[in-house]
Structure 1
Amino acid sequence: MPPQSGSTLEEPEVKSELPQFFTWEEIGLHSGRGNSKQERWLVINRKVYDISQFHWRHPGGIRIINHYAGQDATDAFTAFHKNEDLVKKYLCSLQIGELAPDQPNCEPSKNELLVKDFRELHSTVKKMGLMKPSYGFFLFMFMHAFLLDVAAWVTIWYFGKSWVPFLVGVAMFTVGQIQYGFFQHDLGHVSVFQNTKWNRISHFIVIGILKGGSHNWWNYMHNQHHSKPNCFRKDPDLNMHPFLFSLGKKLSVELGKKKKKYMPYQYQHTYFWFAPMIFIPFILLILIRFTIKRKKWVEFALMMIYNIRVCLMYIPLMGFKSFMAFFWLSRYLESNWFIWVSQMNHIPMNIDYDKNADWVSCQLAATCNVDQSLFNDWYTGHLNFQIEHHLFPTMPRHNYWKVAPLVKSLCAKHGVQYQCKPLLTALVDILRSLKESGQHWQDAYLLG
């Protein structure tokens, strides 16, 4: 049985054989599509690696590395691995050859000049120190969430559970939880501490005890999303298609022609408002199933500690019924906040199957930005800079605004669209996009 995601790796043996030379056409034949036993190769910095066995024990999960089988994974490798030198020693045992000298640095279908310029930009960004975190910034972000968490309890303890303190407490608890969520997101992307280990340990604790979530589940799902955003069957954030929503023009037409109708998609822009009500119990069940199935008992225990902690804090002050109203109202508001913020950058963008586009084109096609302001930065956890976040996922969020002009220049040079919108426009675009996709589905369903 293959090892689980997150398993430790044994020290690899270094191969001494001279490398062979391969073409991109040969590499593309080893994508493993449709056959779990087929060989899987990928390319990193012109070196060819056979991951046919390694993908089972890849610490980042089986799927994320499989998403690049048969492709150039150089920019994804650089984006996800903060300590490249540590990882490269494991790659040595997997190397089977190199690209032939006459082969370009990336697949012929990609924009080689754009790829080259982005890699130079990434090197420049590191030299500018933009990958280094400000501990003062992250301490402030954590402390203001923690103080809101405490203030919510103090409000109920001091003023009681009448309507005004009840609603004030709900508001503070909700804001504290969403800001904890943004902070655990930073830790998950190893952007709070220089040392990867400290990010992992802190993320394990924060997402468990302060959020009631699972460290391994978050990494398993979220890294796939960053790897191939808005790519159907590779981005797990699109799992709601087609069971709840019909997303994107191409997929909607395809669904309509196949006469698939799980929901009345022509009205999906109206029932999207109810998505947060489904999201809360859905995620809870997924987390319980994931931790039990993967035998992540420590994570399961931390999730239980979170729920016990909250119950012990509030039930003695307000009783069980009032606490249930307090807790689930807060969860509903938090879910609304999270869903609208996370989807405004993605649902209105291009949604399709994986086209093996270069890293920059893939991320820019699937993401857009929201205008910068102090409120927008705080309200979105700096995910208003979604483009920069996706291009440089381990970059500390307080540096997004510094790299944004460089990214804009790169996009302008190569004719890649860089979208930035006002906050309200971005939120309304979710509904507009859902309405358009629903109409495409209906037209195809009736005429196909």
Structure 2
Amino acid sequence: MGGVGEPGGGPVRLGAPLPTFRWEQIRPHNLPGDKWLVIERRVYDISRWAQRHPGGSRLIGHHGAEDATDAFRAFHQDLSFVRKFLQPLLIGELAPEEPSQDGLQNAQLIEDFRGLRQAVEDMKLFEAKPAFFALLLGHILAMEAQSWCLQHDLGHISIFRKSRWNHVAQQFVMGQLKGFSAHWWNFRHFQHHAKPNIFHKDPDVTVAPVFLLGESSIEYGKKKRRYLPYNHQHLYFFLIGPPLLTLVNFEVENLAYMLVCMQWTDLLWAASFYARFLLSYMPFYGVPGAMLLFVAVRVLESHWFVWITQMNHIPKEIGHEKHRDWASSQLAATCNVEPSLFLDWFSGHLNFQIEHHLFPTMPRHNYRKVAPLVKALCAKHGLSYEVKPFLTALVDIIGSLKKSGNMWLEAYLHQ
């Protein structure tokens, strides 16, 4: 074993003893252009390589100077393949006396969660059933309003043995059926899974100055920022939230991403969607009628998307980075909604949001099987495993927006 490494450690020569590092040496390496990660007690310098990370530099950078072991295992299905890319980035390992995680984290919880994940792997719950998704695709082709569900799964899991075909399938569903970029969706959605409900890391909650959520409410109040009447945001949410997210925000963000990042294949897929849509409906309704239909469809699916996805997150804790372990961070940001055959279908199994966040590569048809195991883990460690009735979950979105708005007003008037 080598001595304690210097802060500027370089790549390790093959066969050479590994330098060791303490957490106090690792913590400073969380800057743009200077990023270290700890995975399975080994220290990696990803500063230059992060730009080539398939999931994007921002996603991997969110774990800078942290133990990213559980995130690494959660997002990568073929670990032996991915470790080949990590080997050239290896600069050392944690000193023997250093804990595996920095900060005051529950080591027993982390150990138990990793044991749970191993048990789930042994139960083969990460193996997808192609027949399930083939039937789902047929269903989606008949009801395109539900196609968000399939493209969501294709972005997370491997239905095909070759990941290349999995990505092609996602491009087809996302581009041809929905008119969006698969790369853009993965770029956005994987950040949400990596750091749910964390400002500036989860794009789903970084929505200021339009809406204020959680800790941002007090910050804006203290700084006397009043771009909108935030104490009434629970009312104007109905006007600009559910109706316009997909129609305006996603359309603009998606197009900008494809052009800036030069995702020409995705652009062609999206163009094929618009061509098919217009050619299908213009003969019946003309150009104005076809455009009106397009707007109506986007507004309807936007309502579905906002209510179904945010009932599990907006009412939960929203704030700045707290450097929790994987299980605790996901549980703090998510809750479940009581399952039923209708709700499982209607939400695309996103009512099992806790299981979906703990195991993002797990196919949805196995959420019910793993739920009792997750619930037992939470009971053992005194963690909240929150399950709500469907209508309660929807109403809680409005209550949470109102609470955040009142927090802003109080800070604005009295600070």
Correspondent of 2:41 among 36, 42, 46: 46
* Matched residue, 2:80: 85
Correspondent of 2:210 among 239, 244, 255: 244
**1:133 maps to 2:99:** no
* Matched residue, 1:76: 71
Are the aligned partners of 1:345 and 1:426 in contact in 2 as well (CA < 8 Å)? yes
Summarize deviations over 1:47-94 as a string: whole Å, max 9, x none.
Answer: 111111111211110111111110000000000001111100111111
Percent identity for Structure 1 against Structure 2? 49
**1:319 maps to 2:280:** no
Are the aligned partners of 2:334 and 2:354 in contact in 1 as well (CA < 8 Å)? yes
The 5 A counterparts of 1:338-417 are 338-417=305-384
Deviation at 1:215, TM superposition (A): 1.1
What is the CA–CA distance in structure 2 between the aligned matches of 1:21 and 1:103, rounded to whole Å? Answer: 10
Q: Which deviates the most, 277-286 or 226-235?
A: 277-286
Q: Match of 2:44, SS?
A: strand
Structure 2: any 5+ residue segments left out of the alignment?
A: 1-10
Are the aligned partners of 2:155 and 2:170 in contact in 1 as well (CA < 8 Å)? yes
Deviation at 1:123, TM superposition (A): 0.6
Are the aligned partners of 2:12 and 2:90 in contact in 1 as well (CA < 8 Å)? no
* Matched residue, 2:200: 233
Measured on the aligned residues, the alpha-carbon RMSD in Å equals 1.4
Q: Match of 2:351, SS?
A: helix
What is the CA–CA distance in structure 1 between the aligned matches of 2:201 and 2:255, rounded to whole Å? Answer: 23
* Matched residue, 2:30: 31
Letter in 2 for 1:71: E
What is the CA–CA distance in structure 2 between the aligned matches of 1:262 and 1:108, rounded to whole Å? Answer: 37
Between the two proteins, the alignment pairs up a number of residues equal to 403
When normalised by structure 2's length, the TM-score is 0.94
What is the CA–CA distance in structure 1 between the aligned matches of 2:69 and 2:366, rounded to whole Å? Answer: 23
What is the CA–CA distance in structure 1 between the aligned matches of 2:161 and 2:408, rounded to whole Å? Answer: 47
What is the CA–CA distance in structure 2 between the aligned matches of 1:42 and 1:375, rounded to whole Å? Answer: 42
Are the aligned partners of 1:347 and 1:433 in contact in 2 as well (CA < 8 Å)? yes
Structure 1: any 5+ residue segments left out of the alignment?
A: 1-11, 149-175
* Matched residue, 1:169: none
Correspondent of 1:429 among 382, 385, 396: 396
What is the CA–CA distance in structure 2 between the aligned matches of 1:31 and 1:292, rounded to whole Å? Answer: 29
Letter in 2 for 1:271: Y
Are the aligned partners of 1:348 and 1:429 in contact in 2 as well (CA < 8 Å)? yes
Are the aligned partners of 2:335 and 2:354 in contact in 1 as well (CA < 8 Å)? yes
Query: After the TM superposition, which parts of structure 1 deviate over 6 Å for at least 4 consecutive aligned residues?
Result: none
Q: Match of 2:352, SS?
A: helix
Are the aligned partners of 1:389 and 1:395 in contact in 2 as well (CA < 8 Å)? yes
Q: Which deviates the most, 91-100 or 282-291?
A: 282-291
Letter in 1 for 2:192: H
Are the aligned partners of 2:12 and 2:91 in contact in 1 as well (CA < 8 Å)? no
Letter in 2 for 1:276: P
Q: Match of 1:277, SS?
A: coil
Q: Match of 1:383, SS?
A: coil
Summarize deviations over 1:295-341 as a string: whole Å, max 9, x none.
Answer: 11121111111001011111112322322222211111110010111
Letter in 1 for 2:203: P
Deviation at 1:109, TM superposition (A): 1.5
When normalised by structure 1's length, the TM-score is 0.88
Q: Which deviates the most, 123-132 or 287-296?
A: 287-296
* Matched residue, 1:290: 257
Deviation at 1:13, TM superposition (A): 10
Summarize deviations over 1:15-41 as a string: whole Å, max 9, x none.
Answer: 443211112222112111xxx24x211
What is the CA–CA distance in structure 1 between the aligned matches of 2:248 and 2:103, rounded to whole Å? Answer: 46
